Structure 1
């Protein structure tokens, strides 16, 4: 990983920390002085981190450029290190975090980058710096106007019961839609943290008497296991569709759980707007009735394929009751360039053993119901995604 040292004034730490997390999400190894541990010789540790780094980022604000001491010394030493690099090598990147006068010692040798609007230039410069040093980095998967970086995080906690949590999620960067990428990352971060908080509920459900006999064994009943994966399935200039898969089991439970939720957006006026399925149709009420008729037909066919027998009259009544003509029936849907897939949770129809149900609707069969200028037009122009998560760790979190 590319080692990146973050030079900043202590007064600016709160402004710099979000960039520390963004660098980690990109697969780099950033260093900031908050990583110092009690008892460490702080001067020695800072110097070690500084001189072992590949690139120094200088965060400039009115406070940092006026500050004497370590900030200025690090800037001076970073510029001196440039003399030992090959021509064109990237070793120092000045970043204007707030409007200020750029120190002469920087402006005479380096071009600075303005944050946050030019963050994509930082991403590109660090990628080039890694290439120059033959450091393998994940350059991201190009999807529409975005570079998407897959991340994985595994957390465990020992208790009676304990838990293990695996999170897989994307990180978005874009040179043309930087604010959209920022909002997507904020949304993903909130979802990731919500999953972590749910897993931590295990700490409130301790039962030593019940679970103590599993201590030291490999039994799956000794700990809860959670896996959450957020995957983009369609990405375009102005439309994004993602599915969150979840599965696992609670300690001591008779069987596991599984499910899928979906997250669909359009970009309007440089901001995200969440899509609902009814947004696709010119007459939502009539569309819901017709969609339900189609859905029931598709579920009946799926029933016959799954159970190798046509549904009986009672089965058809149960199917009709399970999929009422209400938009709340169709909360979870994903998009492709050719149509819409709707997902129904377990227990919607039949018990746990029956599993989950879904139905696919092509834009062609929905054609008469769709808005003439609806979001399906954006989906048709977007790119379908075969998104593969990497094993690169994402931002660390406390279990």
Structure 2
């Protein structure tokens, strides 16, 4: 627990990143490095986003290459800063590590960085990680004791099948179970999570096992199915869960989908995005969300593809993204997380653009939503419940 470390780096700096990975692993942390963790055939964009979101700490390797490179490295930097906003002021979450004499980007200057030329740079990183892990564990113990948050354990299941053609079919799942089942609401949440896990396993099996019980005579590359259900945010009254599904059954790439499951506790019920607003405000909120998401996705697109200023000025929802994909309708934004500071809309592959655009997240702060609604009671009640 509290030991997941995401290492962000440019591919040219892989040798250094690998040394850091090995060092952290030897010191009881669980570092994540794409070349170490992403399996052949997996959707790297999906797995990368998932791992970045679930990380307890993020180490940004800064070099002349990484700070000037367009594309995914910059997107990792940007997402890291967004996730930092959910942390406390004195939390150690982002650790910039300079591996050459590059300039530190303005957006990262508020964070104390580590210089690689210091002999003990890895030890300094480890010291910071251990300090924050101890802080997390101490704080969580106090919160659990006072019922402010709920303790949980992580469970893992794995099944493997093969056929006469030596094709393997692998199922993996990891999910959480809350340990205090004296609270009826948590028992219901546990049952819901278990049900999703069982549905995943049984529905996945039917894709490669015949009614006779025999494995289908499929030839070629191995098939892989993965599900993880992890906490995104836990408070005494609201739990936001991150449900990740991925499968690969051959072809150019697999497919990964992320869903948010937001639950009220005591009593238990799901919280749909439209539940956060009074009906009278729905039209205003939907138009705001549609426009806000377009502007943020437009920025992401133009960071990904080199676009001239003239082209950017001509971009509209209809020309840049798929027709009707950003209409002011609730079903376009119904997969989301509740965070400490706002709501995070999830755009899975093919929801607004082609597969290559990947999974994108748009965070809308509560403060922005409060500005546009006339009736604030529902939003204010939610904010109070999660603080």
Per the alignment, residue 243 of structure 2 pairs with 244
Deviation per residue, 1:65-114 (Å, 9 max, x gap): xxxxxxxxxxxxxxxxxxxxxxxxxxxxxxxxxxxxxxxxxxxxxxxxxx
Deviation per residue, 1:350-379 (Å, 9 max, x gap): 321221222110011111345522255434
* Contact kept? 1:229, 1:245, Cα under 8 Å: yes
| Counterpart secondary structure, 2:364 | strand
| TM-score (normalizing by structure 2) | 0.54
* Contact kept? 1:144, 1:382, Cα under 8 Å: no
Per the alignment, residue 287 of structure 1 pairs with 285
| Counterpart secondary structure, 2:337 | strand
- Whole-Å separation in 1 of the counterparts to 2:210 and 2:251: 17
Unaligned runs of 5+ in 2: 1-140
Of the three residues 148, 153, 158, the one matched with 1:154 is 158
- Residue 316 of structure 1 deviates from its aligned partner by 4.1
The verdict on how the C-alpha distance between 1:236 and 1:185 changes in structure 2, with shifts beyond 3 A counting, is same
Deviation per residue, 1:266-315 (Å, 9 max, x gap): 13xx4311111111123112211121111111111111112132565466
Matched, 1:323 2:326: yes
- Whole-Å separation in 1 of the counterparts to 2:316 and 2:168: 41
Matched, 1:361 2:357: no
- Residue 226 of structure 1 deviates from its aligned partner by 1.1
- Whole-Å separation in 1 of the counterparts to 2:242 and 2:379: 18
* Equivalent residues, number: 231
Q: CA RMSD for the aligned pairs? A: 2.7
Of the three residues 181, 190, 197, the one matched with 2:186 is 181
* Contact kept? 2:239, 2:264, Cα under 8 Å: yes
The verdict on how the C-alpha distance between 1:273 and 1:180 changes in structure 2, with shifts beyond 3 A counting, is same
* Contact kept? 1:336, 1:380, Cα under 8 Å: no
Per the alignment, residue 340 of structure 1 pairs with 343
- Residue 173 of structure 1 deviates from its aligned partner by 2.6
| TM-score (normalizing by structure 1) | 0.53
Per the alignment, residue 172 of structure 1 pairs with 178
Deviation per residue, 1:100-157 (Å, 9 max, x gap): xxxxxxxxxxxxxxxxxxxxxxxxxxxxxxxxxxxxxxx9x94834111111111112
Per the alignment, residue 266 of structure 1 pairs with 264
